[in-house]
């Protein structure tokens, strides 16, 4: 069954049961961890995964390989997929990663690169594991009393070790909005100075305290471009564990299209008609975000809805 959300890393719930109700059952989880059909996804200290050397697929370990090669590595339960328990195996600086690559006939790769190569289910599992691993590495001490934390609930909670405190910390996700704004047949795209030449993207920014998602869209667009937005509509979302975000995508309509760069976030912002996008892709003066991002999907959606154009085909013809 295909996902209704085409964004990379999304749709994981269609193939994975996170079995959150079982995470505190130590006996059950331990039995699954040692079972013959257990699978382990390896992440190095930078959050890179191990892929098969000659294949565009994750190099999973079974329970026997884990016990033989990495008996001291910390593991966390991801869930059950196709009847098999899936775990994350988190490595640290004590492990010889070059030696592991040789032993496993594997190569290491970051999520941005791997997300463009892996099958959708494996890309989603990699993103899930990377987000969980980042939170575990960053959440070492209690925010209330400063005491060390210990991981509990199969790696999904961190509990304060101070008996007088005992506060439980949960994984954190930072929500951000990303939006394609249109006005009279054109869409608003901007670029940052650090991006490759010609690359333009939809506008985005993080949610502030006490702010609705729609209000965040209006504020961010106004701050970055000076454009005033009216109607805002949800499009789709994308987990973005780089390191710990959730991108919430929207479409919107401008009521005041005048561009005035206000906060220094963007080097340039402009309105693009479908024909200008076609021409820019064709002559190389315009580059879109990668297919990895929800921004690409927002631009693709807009071109399809407004002009009956397929962004993938336009890019293929340009190359």
What residues in the chain have per-residue pLDDT under 70?
1-5
Q: Which pLDDT belongs to residue 125? A: 98
Q: For residue 97, what pLDDT is reported?
A: 86
**pLDDT recorded at residue 5:** 58
pTM for the whole thing?
Answer: 0.93
Q: What is the pLDDT of residue 169?
A: 98
HEC states along the chain? CCCCCCCCCCCHHHCCECCHHHCCCHHHHHHHHCCCCCEEEEECCCCCEEEECCCCCECCECHHHHHHHCCCCEEEEEEEECCEEEEEEECCCCCCHHHHHHHHCEEEECHHHHCCCCCHHHHHHHHHHHHHHHHHHHCCECCCCCCEEEEEHHHCEEEECCCCCCCEECCCCEEEEEEEEEECCEEEEEECCCCCCCECECEEEECCCCCCHHHHHHHHHHHHHCCEEEEEEEEEEEEECCCCEEEEEEEEEEEECCCCCCCCCCCEEEEECHHHHHHHHHHCCCECCCCCCHHHHHHHHHHHHHHCCCHHHHHHHHC
Confidence (pLDDT) at 4: 46
């Amino acid at each position: 069954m295909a996902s209704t959300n085409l964004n990379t890393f999304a749709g994981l719930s269609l193939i994975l049961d996170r079995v959150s109700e079982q995470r505190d059952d130590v006996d059950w989880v331990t039995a699954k961890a040692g079972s013959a059909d257990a699978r382990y996804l390896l992440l190095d200290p930078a959050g890179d995964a191990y892929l098969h050397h000659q294949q565009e697929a994750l190099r999973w370990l079974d329970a026997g390989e884990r016990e033989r090669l990495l008996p001291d590595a910390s593991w966390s339960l991801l869930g059950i997929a196709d009847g098999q328990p899936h775990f994350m195996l988190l490595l640290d600086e004590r492990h010889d990663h070059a030696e592991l690559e040789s032993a496993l006939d594997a190569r290491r790769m970051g999520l941005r690169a791997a997300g463009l190569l892996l099958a959708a289910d494996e890309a989603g599992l990699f993103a899930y594991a990377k987000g969980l691993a980042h939170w575990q590495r960053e959440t070492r001490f209690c925010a209330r009393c400063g005491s060390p934390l210990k991981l509990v609930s199969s790696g999904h909670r961190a509990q304060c070790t101070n008996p007088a405190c005992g506060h439980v910390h949960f994984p954190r996700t930072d929500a951000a909005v990303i939006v394609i704004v249109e006005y009279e047949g054109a869409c608003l795209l901007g670029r940052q100075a650090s991006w490759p030449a010609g690359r333009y993207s939809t506008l985005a920014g993080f949610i502030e305290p006490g702010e609705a998602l729609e209000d965040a869209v209006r504020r961010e667009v106004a701050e970055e471009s000076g454009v005033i937005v009216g109607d805002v509509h949800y499009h789709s979302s994308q987990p973005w564990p780089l390191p710990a975000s959730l991108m919430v995508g929207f479409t919107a309509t401008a009521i005041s299209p005048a561009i005035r760069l206000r906060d220094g976030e963007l080097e340039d912002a402009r309105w693009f008609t479908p024909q200008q996008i076609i021409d820019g892709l064709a002559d190389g003066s315009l580059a879109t975000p990668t297919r990895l991002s929800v921004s690409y999907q927002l631009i693709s959606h807009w071109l399809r809805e407004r002009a009956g154009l397929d962004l993938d085909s336009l890019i293929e013809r340009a190359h």
